[in-house]
């Protein structure tokens, strides 16, 4: 039972005994640094139920706690705040229970509980993954791992946007200008090769508009009449009609892209349990559009297009199928959601990791699925996140001004190498060991820099700043973990001295560290509830700061006696394990040496 639960029950008993009043809840907060105490009971909210001076009420409750609760050794009252001092025995007892628990803070899934599916990445197959996708992947993967750690069964998935006009743009440009080149013949990753042709299409399209405008067309008229654009539209119609040659080219070029994506995912350290393809799920979406028309959820306009009227729900009318019978994004998303539940009947809810420019789309999607009568639609969540900006400005895929994910990963490792060599701490490492370490530090810096920010906020990403070995950064936390491993290598962990309150009086820094460790399970649960890896990242930074303060003020290996030494080594080991656990749900590795 947590300390808050223990104290809450006794505070309620105190109020009942002293004031003959039943309290529904008790409010706690951390004791402010300038006061003595470990946890504070806030008296002010009780004044709604109790008559009297808040200081006197605090005194009465404090005396009751000292007399009746073993864990409480003293108290002081400041205005309406009752600062409670907890005995060292309580903290030592807690520590002895968790010190050998490698999965401390993590819950296992409960039997029969519904699973959650987390969607992330979901790229288009016309370009490589870029910095925006990196934030998406890191967020989605981490939220999936946090939900898992909180005791949920989780499936990781993505929907691959492998159809539509944007895909045909790359295909037509390759057909017109590619001269049969392949990833093998060019030495390029397949996703990069296809992405180059998406950029090529845009260049040729703009040239075509310019020519037509010079010939007297309006800009708007030229945009829809440029031959290469008409070719792409024709190719899309042929694809939807199942034209053999077009489908064969589509499969070939998508195959190149998938191979490239797989390499990037591996380098980024993310994975998936299931994959869905828009080219499959849009058909199921169309089936349910037909169902919705019969049941009155949708209506047909005179031109044959199908819509959903959401005006009574405070939204607008939304198209779900074009007049020519072709699918829109909404059609496909309806089909994908339904297909996933068909494939995984144990799923009771889904998390969609998609940028905040799609906020309205998901409001509409979730509402339509509810109207179609799906019970699980009430458990759908849009993990909406802000864009990633660079010091140099906004990225545009079709103009080729994006920061490529692979290049970014390489750049992070190179920056880590540069900074590590300046610090000169890697004597005795082989070249392979150094290379692996640079990648661990570089990726750790990238992931931490992105995940420590609340998902809803925009990020200004500066690679150099993220690989600082000081401050709230991934490398600073990794370095502390490596420092603890160094202590553990020097210490003798075979001695099994038992720790008891009689033998060990806690140093204030030891106590603060144990208090910080106590928070970890609750932080995991809160992060799962709020879908926010930032809570874990910033908790870990606070834990590391607390450890470094302990390290600077308390001698670990030079302790006065064996009991103290063993206790401090075990405490350091538990901190390291908690850092490792916290970083594991952020997808960040911790190096044994640094």
| Tens-digit pLDDT profile for residues 468-498 | 888 899 999 999 999 999 999 998 665 555 5
Listed in sequence order, the DSSP H helices in 126-218 are 131-149, 165-177, 183-186, 190-214
d(CA 358, CA 264): 25
pLDDT, position 160? 94
Domain assignment present for residue 540? The answer is yes
Mean pLDDT of the region 556-571: 91
User: For 6-27, how does the pLDDT look when each residue is reduced to its tens digit (9 = 90+)?
Assistant: 999 999 999 999 999 999 999 9
Of 35, 55, 86, the position where a domain reaches its end is 86
400: left (phi over 0), alpha (psi -120 to 50) or beta: left
Residue 27 located in a structural domain:
yes
pLDDT average, residue stretch 542-548: 97
Looking at the domain assignment, is residue 577 inside a domain? yes
**Tens of pLDDT along 242-263?**
999 999 999 999 999 999 999 9
The token pair that represents 193 in the structure block: 């090769």
pLDDT reading at 395 higher than 50: no
Torsion of CA 356, 358, 360, 362, to 10 degrees: -110
Q: Is 103 helix (H, G, I), strand (E, B) or coil?
A: coil
Q: Where do we find the tokens 């460790």?
A: 517
On the CB side of 226, how many CA atoms lie within 13 Å of its CA?
23
Confidence (pLDDT) at 65: 97
Query: Could you tell me whether strands 81-86 and 115-119 are parallel, antiparallel, or unpaired per DSSP bridges?
Result: unpaired
* 517 located within any domain: yes
Question: CB–CB of 281/340 below 8 Å?
Answer: no
pLDDT digits (tens, 9 = 90+) for 173-205: 999 999 999 999 999 999 999 999 999 999 999
Give the separation between CA 40 and CA 24, rounded to whole angstroms.
Answer: 18
- Half-sphere CA count of 187, side-chain side, radius 13 A: 0
**Is 518 within the bounds of a domain?**
yes
- Tokens, residue 579: 């850092």
Mean pLDDT of 120-127: 92
Give 286-322 pLDDT, tens digit per residue.
999 999 999 999 999 999 999 999 999 999 999 999 9
Q: Is residue 104 part of a domain?
A: no
pLDDT at 240: 86
Length of the chain: 594
Q: Is residue 378 part of a domain?
A: no
Beta carbons of 326 and 306 less than 8 angstroms apart = no
Count of domains forming the chain? 2
Contacts of 184 (CB under 8 A, 6+ apart): none
Is the confidence at residue 340, as pLDDT, over 90? yes
Q: Where is 44: in which H helix or E strand? A: none
pLDDT at 499 over 60: no
Quick check: 397 pLDDT over 50? no
Using DSSP's 3-state secondary structure scheme, residue 27 falls into coil
Q: What is the CATH number of the domain that holds 68?
A: 3.30.1360.70
Domain boundary among 52, 86, 120: 86
Of 70, 86, 102, the last residue of a domain is 86
Selection from 303, 304, 292, 296 nearest residue 331 by Cα: 292
d(CA 384, CA 290): 30
Mean pLDDT, the chain, integer: 92
Per-residue pLDDT, 495: 55
pLDDT in tens, 51-65: 889 999 999 999 999
Model confidence pLDDT, tens digit, residues 364-378? 999 999 999 999 999
| Domain annotation covers residue 217 | no
Over residues 315-332, the mean pLDDT reads 90
**CA dist., res. 438 & res. 432, Å (int):** 10
Q: What are phi and psi of 556, to 5 degrees?
A: -90, -65
Average pLDDT on 537-561 reads 95
- Nearest in space to 388 (alpha carbons), one of 308, 447, 315, 469: 447
- The distance in angstroms from the start CA to the end CA of the chain is 38
Q: Write out pLDDT tens, residues 21-44.
A: 999 999 999 999 899 999 999 999
Q: How far apart are CA 146 and CA 351, in angstroms?
A: 13
Answer whether residue 505 shows pLDDT above 70.
Answer: yes
pTM (global) more than 0.85: yes
Q: What residue numbers bound the domain in which 26 lies?
A: 3-86
**pLDDT at residue 393 is higher than 60:** no
H or E stretch at 86: strand 81-86
Predicted confidence at residue 501, as pLDDT, reads 44
- Check residue 561 and give its pLDDT: 87
Residue 502 has pLDDT above 60, yes or no: no
DSSP string computed for 325-370: S-B-HHHHHHHHHHHHHHH-TTEEEEEEEEEGGGHHHHHHHHHHHH
What pLDDT, on the 0 to 100 scale, is given for residue 546?
A: 97
Res 497: pLDDT: 52
Residue 117 tokens read as 């599916």
Q: Which of these, 459, 283, 428, lies nearest to 356 by C-alpha position?
A: 459
What are the φ/ψ torsions at residue 391 (nearest 5 degrees)? -55, -25
Confidence of residue 466 (pLDDT cuts 50, 70, 90): confident
For the segment 154-162, the average pLDDT, to the nearest whole number, is 96
High-pLDDT (> 90) share of the chain, %: 81
């Amino acid at each position: 039972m947590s300390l808050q639960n223990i104290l809450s029950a006794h505070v309620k008993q105190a109020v009942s005994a002293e004031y003959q009043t039943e309290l529904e809840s008790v409010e706690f907060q951390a004791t402010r640094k300038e006061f003595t105490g470990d946890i504070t009971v806030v008296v002010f909210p009780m004044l709604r139920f109790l008559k009297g001076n808040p200081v006197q009420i605090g005194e009465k409750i404090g005396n009751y706690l000292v007399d009746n609760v073993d864990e409480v050794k003293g108290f002081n009252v400041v205005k309406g705040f009752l600062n409670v001092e907890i005995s060292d025995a309580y903290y030592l007892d807690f520590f002895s229970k968790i010190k050998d628990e490698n999965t401390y803070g993590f819950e296992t899934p409960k039997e029969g509980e519904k699973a959650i599916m987390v969607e992330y990445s979901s790229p288009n197959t016309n370009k490589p993954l870029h910095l925006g996708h990196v934030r998406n992947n890191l967020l989605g993967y981490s939220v999936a791992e946090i939900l898992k750690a909180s005791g949920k069964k989780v499936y990781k998935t993505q929907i691959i946007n492998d159809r539509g006009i944007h895909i045909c743009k790359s295909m037509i440009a390759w057909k017109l200008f590619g001269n049969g080149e392949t990833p093998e013949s060019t030495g390029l990753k397949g996703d990069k090769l296809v992405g180059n042709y998406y950029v090529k299409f845009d260049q040729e399209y703009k040239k075509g508009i310019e020519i037509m405008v010079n010939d007297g067309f309006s800009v708007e008229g030229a945009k829809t009449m440029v031959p290469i654009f008409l070719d792409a539209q024709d190719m899309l119609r042929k694809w939807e009609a199942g034209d053999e040659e077009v489908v064969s080219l589509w499969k070939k070029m998508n195959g190149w892209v998938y191979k490239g994506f797989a390499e990037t995912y591996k380098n980024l350290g993310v994975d998936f349990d299931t994959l869905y393809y828009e080219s499959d799920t849009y058909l199921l979406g169309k089936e349910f559009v037909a169902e919705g028309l019969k049941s009155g959820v949708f209506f047909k306009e005179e031109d044959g297009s199908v819509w959903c009227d959401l005006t009574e729900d405070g939204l607008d009318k939304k198209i779900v199928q074009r007049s020519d019978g072709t699918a829109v994004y909404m059609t496909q998303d309806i089909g994908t959601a339904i297909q996933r539940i068909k494939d995984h009947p144990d799923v009771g809810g889904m998390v969609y990791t998609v940028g905040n420019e799609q906020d309205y789309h998901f409001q509409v999607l979730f509402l339509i699925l509810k109207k179609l009568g799906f019970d699980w639609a009430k458990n759908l969540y849009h993990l909406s996140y802000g864009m990633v900006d660079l010091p140099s400005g906004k990225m545009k895929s079709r103009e080729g001004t994006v920061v490529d994910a692979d290049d970014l990963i390489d750049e992070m490792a190179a920056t880590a190498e540069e900074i590590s060599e300046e610090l000169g701490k890697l004597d005795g490492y082989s070249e392979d060991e150094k290379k692996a370490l640079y990648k661990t530090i570089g990726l750790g810096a990238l992931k931490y820099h992105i995940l420590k920010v609340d998902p809803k906020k925009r990020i200004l990403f500066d690679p150099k700043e993220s690989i600082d070995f000081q401050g709230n950064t991934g490398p600073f936390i990794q370095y502390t973990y490596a420092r603890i491993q160094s202590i553990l290598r020097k210490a003798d962990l075979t001695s099994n001295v038992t720790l008891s309150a009689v033998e060990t009086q806690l140093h204030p820094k030891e106590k603060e560290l144990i208090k910080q460790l106590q928070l970890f399970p609750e932080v995991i649960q809160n992060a799962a509830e709020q879908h926010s890896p930032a809570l874990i990242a910033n908790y870990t930074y606070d834990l590391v700061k607390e450890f470094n303060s302990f390290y600077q003020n308390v001698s670990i290996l030079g302790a006065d006696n064996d009991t103290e030494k063993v206790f401090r080594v075990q405490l350091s080991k538990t901190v390291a394990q908690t850092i490792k656990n916290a970083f594991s749900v952020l997808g960040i590795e911790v190096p044994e040496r640094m």
